[in-house]
A and B are shown apart, each in its own frame.
Chain A
Amino acid sequence: MGLLDQLLQFALSGVGIGAIYAIVGLGFMIVYSVTRVVNFAQGEFVMVGGMLTAVLYAAGVPLLLAMAIAVAFAILLGALIQRGIIHPARNASTVTLILLTFGVSIVIRGIALLVWKTDPHSFPAFSGEKSIAIGQAVVSPQAIWVVGTLLVVAVALFLFFDRTMPGKALQACAINPPAARLMGINVETMALVAFGLAAAMGAVAGIVTTPLTTTSYDIGIPMAVKGFVAALVGGLNRIEGVLLGGVVLGILESMAAGLISSGFKDAIALVVLVLVLLLRPGGLLGGAEAGNI
């Protein structure tokens, strides 16, 4: 396998991984845009989505139904977090709110540990395991599902924001909350919607990636970190930015692991984070909040 083939493999693996980071990142973006809160419990939605589906499926529930229940549960969880913790604390500083979400993530993780222990869980890939060859490189069908899901979600999100009233209302809250309020938009309800939406996306990310990586009670942390970096690289407020951020991060990780050493892989996300914050705080594509994080 020549170097070019190896690079192709790294790139393909990177896109697959990056797509997951991007979906998680979109969740961060939605919540941040509407509420200015970086929700560190976002990773736990990913964990809950995958875990619940796996556990229900193992108990005999048909796969699609299990997925639906998992997503519904995640949305409920997101709503609970917003109403029960974020909303009552809404007058606290942003930093406090972020710390609160961090605390929430710890609680969710602790409960997951108690209920599901430390064992990994999984369920079958959607369309089998046989790898697809692209030149000398190999892609697993599930990875294609991941990328496909990302694209569907991204387009759906775009249409939602651009073409529907609730979507536009969310955008209004993101741009100017007082003005939105004056226009009759209930900003608090929008915050609830944002959390629910982000939770759904996190759960979907978890579901589509579990056949590839298995899931366990603690996968929320790395998911949150990588997803956040992806969102940050993309500017935290533009869909295409987050997609770009995720893919860039995924490819960089893959290249680092393949060309340098696997130890660098996790460091990459943090190096990218630092570089972006120092050099282009508004994200690679720039954005309305340049320097405003």
Chain B
Amino acid sequence: MRTHRKSLLYLFVLGALLMPALLACAPSTGSPGSGEPYKIGFLNSSSGYMAAMGSQERDVVLMLEEKVNKAGGINGRPVKIVYYDDESDESKGVLALKKLISEDKVLAVTGTAASGIAMAEAPVAEEARIPFVTMNSSYSVLLNPAKKWVFKVASSEKFLVGGIYRYLKSKGISSFAWLSQGAGFGREARKYLEETYQKEGFKVVANEEYGPSDTDMKPQLTKIKSTNPQALVVYGAEPAGAIAIRQARELGINVPVLGPPSMTMGAIMNVKELREGMEGAIFVAFKPDMWQQLPDNDPQKKVNEEFDRDMKAKYGANFKGLEWPMGVGYDAFTILINAIKKASPDTSKLEDARAKIRDALEQTKGYIGAFGMLDQSPTEHEGLSWESVVIGEIKVGKYQLVK
């Protein structure tokens, strides 16, 4: 019996010693306030063909979540991100969104780099009356019918294809061939092209498509070559597009090659063989990729500088430099945080809170972000300015600012 009591004593002392130790091990979150966290839903592609873009945007959002919480959260309440991977698949994306809305009961949702997936998800958000700030490009995510709850920050066809039109005009080129990716993003651009090229005074001598995972575009390029275009537009977002450009050169298509910014993503640019294959190609571009080359009086330069610093601080050697999808992630998350701050909603009344955030988003004015400068309103849920668009060229393997 004496041993029994002695062991009890030892246990008691042990417990008394452990408790402060446990408290010391508690995660130090600065002082994020004691309020209930603001839950924000985040969807993107961590696997599948959109994974490169999706994982970049995810890294940015996680960095910003940490940064915001370290600084005390929003109005003293921490931010909590609930993330699901759509696996680059539309049905999985829609299911994940539904889960975020009804099971996780988030205040708002952001994410989705893939236009096809965003277009499937948008009606779901609209019907559930939850604000959804998308990271995709196609403008039609906001249309058919005009959405009241969906917002976007990335550039749409008006700027991407329009940027290509502007460049061609500045070089006096009036006829070109078009080779686009045969899925969401590429198809939307093609639709835009078909609706606008005549108005803009262009002649499209060839209009071909390729699949996102194709590795041989020589058949389509052969057809294109036979039409003798003055320029070639390769509109895609995967290595396939880069391979297409290289194969175009191999086939002897030596006219200027243009493309959208998705073709210069790190995943592609970091593969030497792909980058070299795109030498001399021109791209509609955005500032995050070349922020160091911007003039000092460009208001977006400072934003990107700080952004770059923060990413380096969190990811160290794994961070290979800013790219425009990261800028999109940054802007989407930031305007959402700003809206929540402005609305300061009562999270116990979910529907009301969501509506308040939506209203606040519509008041995003004069926003200077990493990717773009935005002015939104009840009738304009994108609001990107032409000032955000630049032109880049791959010269000697490096991405150079041209305009």
Contact = CB atoms under 8 A, between A and B. Distances in A.
Nearest to A123: B273
B268 interface: yes
B198 to A, nearest CB: 23
A118 interface: yes
A17 interface: yes
Contact of B250 (A2, A17, A138, A265): A138
Given A124-B273, A261-B209, A119 B216 contact: no
Interface in A120-176: 120-125, 129, 131, 137-138, 140
Interface residues of B, number: 37
A17 B216 contact: yes
Contacts of B272: 122, 124
Contacts of A263: 182, 209, 211
Interface of B is mostly: helix
A213 interface: yes
Contact of A131 (B51, B215, B250): B250
Contacts of B223: 6, 258
Given A6-B226, A119-B52, A258-B220, A129 B250 contact: yes
Nearest to A3: B226
Contacts of B182: 262-263
A13 B215 contact: no
A222 B213 CA distance: 9
B220 A257 contact: yes
Q: How large is the interface on A (under 10, 10 to 19, 20 to 34, 35 or more residues)?
A: 35 or more
A222 B47 CA distance: 17
B47 A138 contact: no
Contacts of A137: 222
B225 A13 contact: no
Contacts of B274: 120, 122, 214
Nearest to B218: A13
Given A118-B47, A213-B216, A213-B243, 18 more contacts: A1-B226, A6-B223, A6-B226, A17-B216, A118-B52, A118-B267, A120-B239, A129-B246, A212-B215, A214-B239, A255-B219, A258-B219, A258-B222, A262-B182, A262-B208, A263-B209, A265-B211, A265-B214
Q: 8 nearest interchain CB pairs?
A: A258-B219, A213-B215, A118-B51, A1-B226, A257-B219, A122-B273, A13-B218, A120-B239
